Amino acid sequence: MFLVNSYKIFLKVVFPILFLTILYSCSAPKEAIGASWEGESDFMFISKKTMQMNYASYIEGKSVFLGGFYEIVKNETNSVINTIEVTDIEFEKRTDGVFYCRIWGNVQRSEEQGYLLADNCHPIFN
């Protein structure tokens, strides 16, 4: 009889609490703290007079974190195009199904923000 009563208490009290706790932890929104990518990337340089896309450029390691400083380098060279302080990351999906991101930030050689456009990009969560 004691086991039957304990089982009923478990089903009425403990089980719902466990279920709601798991449900809440799975549904809590996660904020991305960074991004990583496997694809190619291009850098958009913006100044007051021009907007210039630097194709085939990259950040070493193909990953960034919000608030970090990174050098943007031209592919197949050691030539640094610019330095960016990451302030925001936008994640999108193209019509062909490829995920990409825009890594926005303050760049060294401009008063405006620039961005690195990276293919096959995924968020890094805390």
Given a contact cutoff of 8 angstroms between Cβ atoms, the answer to whether 83 and 99 are in contact is no
94 with 48, same domain: the answer is: yes
Q: Which residue has the tokens 């060279």?
A: 77
Average pLDDT of the chain is 83
84 with 42, same domain: the answer is: yes
17 with 44, same domain: the answer is: no
21 with 83, same domain: the answer is: no
36 with 65, same domain: the answer is: yes
Q: Which residue has the higher pLDDT, 98 or 49?
A: 98
106 with 45, same domain: the answer is: yes
Q: Confidence band (pLDDT; 50, 70, 90) for 46?
A: confident
> Cβ–Cβ contacts within 10 Å for residue 120, how many?
15
18 with 38, same domain: the answer is: no
41 with 84, same domain: the answer is: yes
pTM: 0.74
Q: What residues make up the domain containing 3?
A: 1-30
The angle at the Cα of 115, spanning 58 to 90, to the nearest 5 degrees, equals 105
66 with 116, same domain: the answer is: yes
pLDDT digits (tens, 9 = 90+) for 77-121: 889 999 999 999 999 999 999 999 999 999 886 677 899 999 999
60 with 23, same domain: the answer is: no
Number of domains present in the structure of the chain: 2
Q: Confidence band (pLDDT; 50, 70, 90) for 25?
A: low
**What pLDDT score does 22 carry?**
55
Given a contact cutoff of 8 angstroms between Cβ atoms, the answer to whether 18 and 104 are in contact is no
